[in-house]
Copies of this chain bind each other. A is one copy, B any other.
Amino acid sequence: MAGTDTTRRALPVGGLAIILVEPQLGENVGTAARAMMNCGLADMRLVRPRDEAPNRYAIAAAAGADAILEAARPFATTADALADLHHVFATTARNRDMVKPVMTPREAARAMREAEARGERCGVLFGRERTGLVNEDLMLASTIVMAPLNPAYSSLNLAQAVLLIGYEWLLAVDATPSVQLPLGDTRPAVAEEVEGFFGQLEAELDNSGFFPTEAMRPSMWRNIRNVFLRARLTEQEVRTLRGVVSRLVGKRHRRREV
């Protein structure tokens, strides 16, 4: 996990600015950097960090994402850190009684992506570990972001908050199918192949006297078919199953012959 040269990753380009205001713990800064790398973000800005340079806890926690730590820029004030941004979002765990839109991370991510598509730069403010953002920081943001978490325990660890925002930002344009079935070298079986297996299986079940009565056969057979149909067999699995049946039958036949 150490950030040696071999494990270092190239910095992603562009995207959201992540602004940590007065972060206190190196581990959190490092884990936040790792979360940023996970989400394809690179622009980390630190307002009055406790440690000027990333400490060893930060580098260990970054787990190879230390290029982000090294590129992180320190600022003396929150306003300085935001100066070049068109849109500033501020994260809070609780309602602050300000008449300012409060968005879920998902909705905020959508708004950020829309702004970025217009060529506008967005940034997100995260407060210090124990206390969050102060009102002077919140005043600099146009929008509050609040994750809909357990109302009795909604305060996120700093790096966890960075991950949630980055994750939603990444997913706001992600086109990964929600379910995939990796098939490797095989392909889904066509119906003819599956029915071929069913024909073999039903014949062997008949041979073996599996069905107690003709009246019970239809529902019993339907149930067995459904197991395999639900599984959406691959061509390779159909061949494997045919082999299983042949082998089972062959063994029994051999035993009978003995």
Q: Which residues of A contact B (CB under 8 A)?
A: 1, 9-10, 12, 27, 31, 34-35, 37-40, 61, 63-65, 95-104, 106-107, 129-130, 147-150, 152-157, 159-160, 163-164, 167, 170-171, 174, 176-184, 186, 234, 237
Contact B160 A31 (CB under 8 A): yes
Residues of B within 8 A of A61 (CB): 157
Contact B181 A101 (CB under 8 A): yes
Known: A107-B179, A157-B35. A99 touches B234 (CB 8 A): yes
- 7 A-B residue pairings within 8 Å (CB atoms): A38-B155, A64-B153, A99-B182, A99-B183, A101-B180, A157-B159, A160-B160
Contact A148 B171 (CB under 8 A): yes
Residues of B within 8 A of A129 (CB): 1
Residues of B within 8 A of A31 (CB): 157, 160
Known: A154-B38, A157-B31. A149 touches B178 (CB 8 A): no
Residues of B within 8 A of A171 (CB): 106, 148
Contact B102 A181 (CB under 8 A): yes
Q: Can you name the residue of chain B whose Cβ is closest to the Cβ of A65?
A: B153
Point out the residue from B99, B130, B156, B180 that lies within 8 Å of A184, measured CB to CB: B99
Contact A179 B10 (CB under 8 A): no
Beyond the given A38-B153, A99-B184, please list 19 additional residue pairs across the A-B interface where CB-CB is below 8 A.
A9-B152, A9-B153, A37-B150, A37-B153, A39-B150, A40-B149, A40-B150, A63-B155, A64-B153, A97-B184, A99-B186, A101-B179, A102-B179, A102-B181, A104-B178, A107-B178, A107-B179, A148-B170, A148-B176
